[in-house]
Amino acid sequence: MRAHKKGLELIYQVQSDVPDTLVGDWDRLRQVLLNLVGNAIKFTEAGEVELRAELSGEAVSGPATDQVGLRFAVRDTGIGIPKGKQIQIFRAFEQEDASTTRKYGGTGLGLTIASRLVELMGGTITVKSEPGRGSTFAFTARFGRNPHAPKPVSSPPPVLLRELPVLVVDDNATNRYILQERLRGWQMEPATAGDGVAAMSALWDAAARGRPYALVLLDARMPDTDGLALAAEIRKRAGLSGTRIVLLSSGHRPGDWDRVRELRIDAHLLKPIQQDELLDTIYQVMSRSRDDEPSPARPAGGRELPTAPTPGTIPLHILLAEDDELSARFMERLLARAGHHVRLTTNGREALSLAEVGVFDLLLLDIHMPELDGFGVVGAIRERERAAGGHLPVIALTARSRQEDRERCLAAGMDDFLTKPVAAAGLLSAIDRLVAAQGVSLPSQTDAGPSRDLLDPAAVLSICGDDAEGLRRMCEDFRACAPTRLAEVGNASRERNAEGLRQAAHKLCPWLFAFSTVAGNVASELEDRAAQGQLEEARPLVDRLETMIHELMRLVGGLSLESLRRQAARAEES
């Protein structure tokens, strides 16, 4: 529904008559949408970017039952494009003038490629724009109907939600409209307010008429009075004590969760909000008796609150040498949540220079680092220590888990060894061991065998630390970065660049092992083939990876802690 980025609203709306399943080239569609939305965000400092999908209304060739036309529109409130240049932009992307490229970056090829992809999908692309008032890029595309798609079943909302008075409080008019229409479609009675003052007035007026709002859908971040401040005002008023509150937010600030508990927020949903998730949450909230307070550890809607740092944790100064974005982000968040201070570096030479300063209590060292690998780093550190004394504990991090890899790490002077993706509990436990013993024997680790299913629920739960916010960010990171990593693999394979392919496969390993043992093993095997120059043998592995990553992209879009726990339990029973 909406996400914040420096005051920018990102909104999407899919009309209810758009079929749930169609047959077409989703990769082309995704590439066009990413290009248009990415450009809109780039050229819009403030305001909103809206993506809308609807039936095109155009006749399509062939039997009407075989094909359907869709229209996608990306509207922004950005800098706009002069009318005289709108014809040129699909050949060379120029917004206002040449200085735009210097300010915003970009080569101008994106829209040219997007236009050609739209043509391949049987559609056309257009633009409407006015300088200073934004742009709307729209395109049509044709898709086949899925002959095996289940027929839609019109399921009415639960009886207790019909004619339910709901107040939607959001400063963004487009978002208010979308929520209002969605609630009306579920036979509720919604009204809207654009700020805290209007919201309190509407709540009091409704209460005075004897029909108070039973539910408030409350945006967490508004310019005048934010959602939590407004929730506090509602909770102060005895006449509004029966009002349920669902908080909608796109991120968290320090202290938010304590306030959520204190104000007895009935549920919390992270944007973007799925339609089914919203309805299910409203039903759960309105089904509870007033005395049945939501659990502070698991608010309605299935999103758990992140835990606070563990009491009694000794804060350490930790140097994290990791060039993989996913692993680095995960470990930074985990260590900070545990109360530690983290300095991140992404190349081996800088890691060695920082380690020699002598202000760190621990080094987490990725073995495969650019400029100087982990063995070179730890060798130089141990050589210096032999002359100057002291000992910096080092934990090796690698996606390779063979026994010879472990033995080589220990022989090189590492104190401990962890296989990526690193489980939250395993990392914190290893740190505790080293702090207590200043170097002990290799921890006992067992590697999970390949799963019959692509997704490995136990691995995901372990790596995110069974934390809903950690899971959400893991999934966001994967969906944002996996296509780039896959493109690097594909390019290296097509160019028959064995070393480039090895490096690209190596970068993919930790991303994939975080979600799938099966896919991670394929990437690891691809790395081995490329290292041996076996490009012909590597080609089918590249194809398998592409299929697996596309499927994982789909799977991680709807993950929740509850669904993962159910899958893990079923896997244990089987």
Could you read off the pLDDT of 4-32 as tens digits, one per residue?
444 677 888 888 788 878 888 887 898 88
To the question of pTM greater than 0.85 for the whole model, the response is no
Find the DSSP H helices in 338-389: 348-357, 374-388
- For every residue of 460-488, DSSP letters joined together read HHHHTTT-HHHHHHHHHHHHHHHHHHHHH
Please give the average per-residue pLDDT across 474-503, as a whole number: 87
CATH for 419: 3.40.50.2300
Question: For the chain, how long is the longest CA-to-CA vector?
Answer: 83
The two tokens of residue 122 are: 């049987």
pLDDT at 95 over 50: no
Please give the average per-residue pLDDT across 287-309, as a whole number: 43
Indicate whether 499 and 473 sit together in one domain: yes
Higher pLDDT residue, 121 or 147? 121
Q: Is residue 254 part of a domain?
A: yes
pLDDT at 373 over 80: yes
Q: How many residues are present in the chain?
A: 574
pLDDT tier at 574, thresholds 50, 70, 90: low
- Distance, CA of 20 to CA of 14 (rounded, Å): 10
- The residue among 145, 171, 192 that closes a domain is 145
Displacement of CA 444 from its chain's centroid (Å):
32
- A 10 A CB-CB count for 442 gives 13
DSSP H or E run through 124: none
Indicate whether 405 and 528 sit together in one domain: no
pLDDT recorded at residue 572? 67
Taking only the tens place, the pLDDT of each residue in 495-519 is 899 999 988 888 888 778 888 888 8
Taking only the tens place, the pLDDT of each residue in 549-563 is 887 887 887 788 888
pLDDT at 101 over 70: no
- Distance, CA of 160 to CA of 153 (rounded, Å): 20
Number of separate domains in the chain: 4
Rounded to the nearest integer, the mean pLDDT of the chain is 78
**Residue 171: which of 220, 232, 243, 228 has the closest Cα?**
220
Q: Is residue 567 part of a domain?
A: yes
**Cβ neighbours for 35, distance < 8 A, ≥ 6 positions apart:** 110, 111, 113, 114
Higher pLDDT residue, 90 or 106? 90
pLDDT at 300 over 50: no
On whether the CB atoms of residues 53 and 14 are closer than 8 A, the answer is: yes
- A 10 A CB-CB count for 298 gives 14
pLDDT recorded at residue 450? 30
DSSP H or E run through 553: helix 535-556
Indicate whether 407 and 371 sit together in one domain: yes
Indicate whether 396 and 277 sit together in one domain: no
| Range with top average pLDDT, 261-265, 325-329, 380-384 | 380-384
Indicate whether 273 and 357 sit together in one domain: no
Indicate whether 325 and 428 sit together in one domain: yes
| Range with top average pLDDT, 258-272, 349-363, 491-505 | 491-505
E strand spans, 313-355: 317-321, 341-345
Indicate whether 8 and 139 sit together in one domain: yes
Indicate whether 132 and 58 sit together in one domain: yes
Higher pLDDT residue, 264 or 156? 264
Please report how many Cα atoms fall inside a 13 Å half-sphere around the Cα of residue 241, on the Cβ side: 5
Indicate whether 15 and 109 sit together in one domain: yes
Starting at the earlier edge strand, list the strands of the sheet with 165-169. 189-193, 165-169, 215-219, 244-249, 267-270
**Residue 81: which of 63, 64, 104 has the closest Cα?**
104
The two tokens of residue 273 are: 């909000």
**Cβ neighbours for 42, distance < 8 A, ≥ 6 positions apart:** 104, 105, 106
Indicate whether 403 and 469 sit together in one domain: no
Q: Which phi and psi angles does 138 have, rounded to 5°? A: -130, 145
Please give the average per-residue pLDDT across 349-372, as a whole number: 83
- The residue among 437, 470, 502 that closes a domain is 437
The DSSP output letter for 56 is -
- Distance, CA of 447 to CA of 246 (rounded, Å): 42
Domain with 523, as residue range(s), is 457-573
Indicate whether 479 and 553 sit together in one domain: yes
- The residue among 97, 119, 145 that closes a domain is 145
